[in-house]
Structure 1
């Protein structure tokens, strides 16, 4: 019996640590949902759920690749963790500013003519690839935050907890994203059952969310990117805590992410032009 109760105690401790890790990753997951939903709302209605499934599989693969690498690096080469985070933050900030730049400087009115299926398929494949790349960066952040919650635990517990949190994150994020982008269908179903007001509200909400997510997703990229820099670079962290109150930390993160995105965009654009010449 003693051994049985010892096992129960270990399971309870494991559950507590897992719960703590999930709570600590909640903020990044909210940004993850905004970014992913915005990117996933650009597909044709008939392809939305199949595309979400493809992205979900890509996200699972990302976690399978990231988890063992991060665990090994944190144990044997912890000094490279911060540079990896900063590279990921730079990519997110760059991607966020790229959307802003395209909207203000490269936005063109497109005709509403039917696009050939071959073009749609190619664009869909490219969008899936880009979304999975963004998920890879966000997945690194999720894994690292989950790991930071159990750094003092034995290695077996670390592996179990980080794996559980990471895979639950994928299921939660893409489950919510699938729900968001199919709200209009849910609304039509309610309308067909006689609940017209409920159905109309859901259809209206879907139209509003699609527009709002384009903005929220971009801001989330700046917040995550700037937040990583503010947290991991001492000088920036000092500036944030010295001149910004807690309620304005989010503004500091967003502005910092925007600045990093502009700088990254400038150098990447310059590199592309030089390579073309």
Structure 2
């Protein structure tokens, strides 16, 4: 009897170790897949705070929570089944889907650069007089944020899928589910912190302790610059990630020349700085992908913005 119990306990221990190893494998794979999405994640975190601009501080976190739930629904209910079906029955299409998403990222990044130099968006009279505290306006902003998130979430999941496409279906499902949960928590946790940072600074500025109050005032003054920097980083990340996806996709489709050109140039630049060889190689390669992404993006921006205006002028 005791021998049977010992054997049963041994079997349970083996199963537990196998389960633990499986969990570790899923976690490690999810970490690798999630790391590849960093550019889109940064842009997602940079874009979202604008959707709570103008609302009372008491409504900021509830609005972010609504957007976060919509983002998770986008990933788990709509995008996850679609990418799993695609990877299971038409895996060759993954490269084309990624390149399409990369092209969109290049366009979005280039359009932000174009708007920065062309003057950007100006609010209409209707927007200026809108009741920012109304429930209808809040719902419009939440819906707009969730629609924007759908594109970014689709790209995040497609990039993650490309990293685990060779895994079994169940492992793929678990990994992508973990990526969806972690990325959503990361993005909207950071967004919530960013949005409330000025309130935190204002609270600290009222402290009777001089050092704490000075830090709070500095935090309030710094936040506009932080948001600007985050927007710039997000735009650069979109161009880099989008350009890299297209370059890598072209190589997979039998056109590796551009990938080789960027790689060779990065290696040559790295040889000139032996003390920081790896950093320089990565930096030059990233700049090369980003410049190509900017070129692709500006080509689309030109077609959508410049040509119609020229036609209207004639």
Quote how far apart the aligned CAs of 1:17 are.
2.8
Q: Computing the radius of gyration over CA atoms, which structure comes out larger, 1 or 2?
A: 2
1:239 — aligned with what? Answer: 261
Is residue 264 of structure 1 aligned with residue 286 of structure 2? no
Structure 1 residues 274 and 222: alpha-carbon distance in aligned structure 2, compared to 1, 3 A threshold: same
How far the C-alpha of 1:54 sits from its partner, in A, is 3.1
Unmatched segments (≥5 aa) in structure 1: none
In structure 2, runs of 5+ residues without a counterpart are 1-8, 268-280
* Aligned positions, number: 276
The answer to whether the 8 A contact 1:95-1:261 is kept is yes
C-alpha separation between the residues in 1 aligned to 2:242 and 2:140?
Answer: 23
Deviation at 1:211, TM superposition (A): 1.9
Paired residues for 1:160-199 under 5 Å: 160-194=174-208, 195-199=212-216
Shift of 1:206: 1.2
In structure 1, the residue matched to 2:13 is 5
Q: 1:71 and 1:144 mapped to 2: Cα distance? A: 10
Structure 2 CA distance, aligned partners of 1:132 and 1:108? 20
Secondary structure of residue in 2 paired with 1:44: coil
Match 1:17 to one of 26, 39, 47: 26
1:52 to 46, 61, 64: 64
SS at match of 1:41: helix
CA contact (8 A) 1:89 1:225 kept: yes
Matched position secondary structure for 1:78: coil
Distance 1:212 1:262, change over 3 A: same
**What's the CA shift string for 1:207-231, capped at 9, x where partnerless?**
2112212322222221221121122
TM-superposed deviation, 1:262: 0.9
Assess, with a 3 A threshold, how the Cα gap between structure 1 residues 16 and 103 changes in structure 2: closer, same or farther: same
Rate the CA distance shift 1:104–1:30 in 2: closer, same or farther, 3 A: closer
Q: Is the 8 A contact 1:94 1:260 kept in 2?
A: yes
Q: 1:29 to 1:107 in 2, by over 3 A?
A: closer
Query: How far is 1:135 from its partner?
Result: 2.9
Deviations 1:216-259 (A, max 9, x none): 22222212211211222113322221222323111012111111
Whole-Å Cα distance in 2 between the matches of residues 93 and 148 of structure 1?
19
Q: Measure the CA separation in 2 of the matches of 1:110 and 1:117.
A: 11
Q: Provide the TM-score with structure 2 as the length reference.
A: 0.75
Match of residue 4 from structure 2: none
TM-score by length of 1: 0.84
For residues 17-36 of structure 1, the aligned pairs below 5 Å read 17-29=26-38, 31-36=40-45
**Contact kept in structure 2, 1:189 and 1:199, CA below 8 Å:** yes
Q: Distance in 1 between matches of 2:61 and 2:225?
A: 20
